[in-house]
């Protein structure tokens, strides 16, 4: 169970990373819609898992690879934004949130329009 401070910091990181991906690191996700869906942060605030949703779905591997390669840059930009709130900038790692893809697949199955 996350405490209130963890939740506040997770929301702040979610907003900041979303803005970084939209403005400062837009070239990493060019041609894709990337949404930061959730952030989970460790109790000691030293590690955070950032869940992203990627559309179109067939670009998810490319986008995750690009984000993984440039994690250091995103962490540096994040540190510049949250330096007044936290003593240390948490380590970040990106994970795929495939819930939208799952929902799309179920919708297609229900309507008999499965496409590959």
Domain ranges across the chain:
4-110
Residues in the chain: 116
Both ends of the chain: CA-CA distance in Å? Answer: 39
What is residue 112's DSSP assignment? T
Quote the pLDDT of residue 116.
53
Quote the pLDDT of residue 55.
83
Percent of the chain beyond pLDDT 90?
A: 52
What is the pLDDT of the chain when averaged over all its residues?
88
Taking a C-beta distance cutoff of 8 angstroms, is the pair 52, 94 a contact? yes
Residue owning tokens 């984000």: 67
pTM flag (> 0.85):
no
- Per CATH, the number for 4-110 is 3.30.300.20
Supply φ then ψ for residue 41, to 5 degrees.
Answer: -125, 140
The larger pLDDT score, comparing residue 62 to residue 2, is at 62
């Amino acid at each position: 169970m996350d405490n209130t401070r963890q939740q506040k910091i997770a929301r702040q990181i979610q907003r900041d990373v979303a803005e970084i991906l939209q403005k400062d690191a837009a070239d990493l996700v060019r041609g894709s819609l990337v949404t930061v869906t959730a952030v989970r942060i460790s109790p000691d605030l030293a590690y955070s898992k950032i869940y992203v949703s990627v559309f179109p779905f067939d670009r998810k591997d490319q986008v995750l690879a690009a984000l993984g390669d440039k994690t250091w840059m995103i962490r540096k930009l994040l540190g510049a934004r949250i330096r007044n709130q936290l003593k240390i900038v948490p380590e970040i790692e990106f994970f795929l949130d495939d819930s939208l893809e799952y929902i799309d697949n179920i919708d297609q199955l229900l309507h008999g329009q499965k496409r590959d």
